[in-house]
Chains A and B, each alone.
Chain A
Amino acid sequence: MVEWTDFERATIQDIFSKMDYESVGHNALARCLVVYPWTQRYFGNFGNLYNAAAIMGNPKVAAHGVVVLHGLDRAVKNMDNIKATYAELSVLHSEKLHVDPDNFRLLADCLTIVVASRLGTGFTADVQAAFQKFLAVVGAALTKQYH
């Protein structure tokens, strides 16, 4: 069982309650596709991903970024049971989508950078630690059903 301190709970709730899911989801997924180009292989039917501008302007990328953030929202609302909350999503990503679980960490890193750039000095070291712990737990839960 993952233990969360009061500070960690409050931090996660605070970050997500103030977050613009459309903008952050879009930005984080686009960054992933730009910075780690091999991830584009999962989005073969998304059309033009030829360069950074195309990726940033691609409406399917924007739409899917929001889907991902809404998926993350389920973990935010069930912090004491992320593993069970994501059991089906984990099966989906492994058996149907065949996503290499390393990529969860890459998307988490891009999401961290987007949140850092939005919060500026508000993204202190303690907040960073809490946020990265949350994303690490999410990644582990999504990987759980792979083996």
Chain B
Amino acid sequence: MSGGGDKEGIKSARAANSDCSLILESLIVGKSTEADSMVEWSDAERSAIAAVWGKLNLDEVGPQALGRVLIVYPWTQRYFGTFGDLSNAAAILGNPKVANHGKVVLGALDKAVKNLDNIKGTYANLSQLHCEKLNVDPDNFRLLADCLTIVIATKFGAAFPPQVQATWQKLMAVVVAALTSRYF
């Protein structure tokens, strides 16, 4: 939460100039520190995310989501030139490198789920990696997020109602924004 940074700001404002302290206080109370995410999560959203994540088998869902991306949006295969046979859906879904990399991606997503209040900070290095080393077009993050959402829908059926979908897509949007944050 934002308590620590704001209190320090208020103390120094008062020390600086008591006449202006009220004005400075109102400016500083509104300020968020680097560690504070601009994203607010309600209690309902936090528990919805935990509930969805808790039911997912990451080793199963990761490969399925990545496989779908490579099949439904074939241009994404260009990032995986060393993965061997991606020539058709069966090859992609049976490809062990795809499966393994799907698990890596979901493992990284786990960090976001466990650090909801600082996803941007958590993903700073990953963002830099995807931009400077891997040269991934950030549009593709949204495609993977969409495929993951669809995999969840296929597994959860009626247990993925509109409100849960809304919360999940908010998490995906925040993750995508965080991964894109070091690009510009």
Contact = CB atoms under 8 A, between A and B. Distances in A.
Interface of A: 27, 30-31, 34-35, 52, 55-56, 109, 112-114, 116-121, 123-126, 128-129, 132
B146 interface: yes
Nearest to A27: B162
Given A125-B68, A129-B72, A52 B154 contact: no
Contacts of B20: none
A52 B162 contact: yes
Contact of B89 (A113, A118, A119, A126): A126
Contact of B93 (A117, A118, A123, A125): A125
Interface stretch (B1-9, B100-108, B116-124, B163-171): B163-171
Interface of B: 67-68, 71-72, 89, 92-93, 146-147, 149-150, 153-158, 160-163, 165-166, 169
Contacts of B156: 117
B21 to A, nearest CB: 40
B166 A34 contact: yes
Given A109-B146, A128-B72, A129-B71, A117 B154 contact: yes
Contact of A125 (B67, B149, B162, B166): B67
B162 A56 contact: yes
27 contacts: A27-B162, A31-B165, A34-B162, A34-B165, A34-B166, A35-B162, A35-B165, A35-B166, A52-B166, A109-B146, A113-B153, A113-B160, A113-B165, A114-B153, A116-B153, A117-B154, A117-B157, A118-B157, A120-B155, A123-B154, A125-B67, A125-B71, A125-B72, A125-B89, A125-B93, A126-B89, A128-B147
Residue among A31, A113, A120, A123 facing the most chain B CB atoms (10 A cut-off): A113
B72 A113 contact: no
A59 B155 CA distance: 28
